[in-house]
Chains A and B, each alone.
Chain A
Amino acid sequence: MVPAFKKSHNAALSKERKYFNTKLAKVWTKSEHCIGLVKARFQRVRELRPVISSKRDLAVLLQMIMCACILHNLLIDHVIPEDWLEEQAEIEDDDEELEQHDNERANRRNQVLYYMMEMH
């Protein structure tokens, strides 16, 4: 897995790292896009009306979402009209403290970065 570099509290990101992050952000838009498509075509999953009062209710809901996903995959070649898609920018905040960087894992990201720099 390759996550973005995080800004530390006192120092700005170096130029290479910024470059890496912008590249990464471009790929993210793809995955955001995928979820956007599901929610655009199947409006029901944008907001779930039923009240969850038992396990069964939840199971029914999840089945419905799963159906929407399956249909999305089946209908992948059929383009969704532009005006169905609306900006649903999810603001992701960084207050989660998950600084458990294993060396091996951080290495992996650096490897990808170096590779990209060479290609660039």
Chain B
Amino acid sequence: MLYDGMYMTDDEFLSNFRIDRACIHQLTELIKDDEVFIKCWGKRDKQPVVLHIMVFLRYLGSYGNEASLQKIGLVMGMSKGAINDCVIRVSQAILKLQKKVIRRPDEEERKQIGSRIKQTHGFVNCVGLIDGTLFHLAFAPTLNLEDYFMRKGNYAIKALFVCDDTAKITLVEIGWPGSMHDNRVWLNSDVYLAKKCISATKSTCLVIRHSWRLW
């Protein structure tokens, strides 16, 4: 599937796995040495890392009832349980990259972002754009469901994103229940609490929506 252009054209591949073929190889290079892919002594060989990644991308990229483990298994020619194992392994490997990939820009990068935003939008000393979002839940939770009920009438998990002007995420804060306001999430976020302790440096600012308390 990965190499045969006749079996699946590049466009089809892209729409099935949400990234193109070259990317898969790059991704494989990044996580292939992770310990979760190493064979355990006395057990059967694990599937190749590339296949793991393809399963995981298919898993993240499908929506609705297409996303069930059975259906992914049908496409990938694997059993339901094997798919689950793959997903767990890859997500463990990827989560190890978190600190490297999602981090606060350093001094030099902040200057660059600041100057880019100043050029295109006219704001000075701006290093990030902040916005809250909701991840909708299809079904009501059975644990503390009233907390997840949000103002738009269904259940959701709240998340807060800070990104720079190239849409690169520099900070995420996820996991608050949907009933909370953006602002309250922010006031409880690690960054805000840390800032309060070390008395915020005033050279940077974030651009935000209305209805936010000023920082």
Contact = CB atoms under 8 A, between A and B. Distances in A.
Interface of A: 1-6, 23-24, 26-28, 30-35, 37-38, 41-55, 57-58, 61-76, 78, 81, 90, 92-94, 96, 98, 100-102, 105-106, 108-109, 112, 115-116, 119-120
Contacts of B137: 47-48, 52
B117 interface: yes
Contacts, number: 206
B59 to A, nearest CB: 7
Given A2-B206, A43-B61, 12 more contacts: A2-B126, A30-B167, A41-B18, A47-B63, A48-B136, A63-B91, A65-B135, A71-B27, A73-B102, A98-B183, A102-B214, A112-B205
B67 interface: yes
Contact of A3 (B98, B117, B168, B214): B214
Contacts of B142: 51-53
B78 interface: no
Contact of B61 (A28, A42, A51): A42
Interface stretch (B1-9, B35-43, B104-112, B156-164): B156-164
Contact of B23 (A58, A65, A66, A78): A78
A66 B174 contact: yes
Contact of B91 (A34, A42, A64, A81): A64
A94 B211 contact: yes
A46 to B, nearest CB: 6
Contacts of A6: 210-211
A75 B23 contact: yes
Interface of chain B, main secondary structure = mixed
Interface in B176-215: 181, 183, 205-215
A69 to B, nearest CB: 5
A105 B157 CA distance: 30
B91 A2 contact: no
Interface residues of B, number: 70
Contacts of A65: 135, 157, 159, 174
B123 A23 contact: yes
B133 A74 contact: no
Contacts of B212: 1, 3, 98
B210 A27 contact: no
Contacts of A67: 56, 60, 90-91, 94-95
Interface in B125-143: 126, 129-131, 133, 135-143
A18 to B, nearest CB: 13
A34 B169 contact: yes
Q: Which 3 A-B pairs have the closest CB atoms?
A: A105-B214, A43-B63, A1-B215
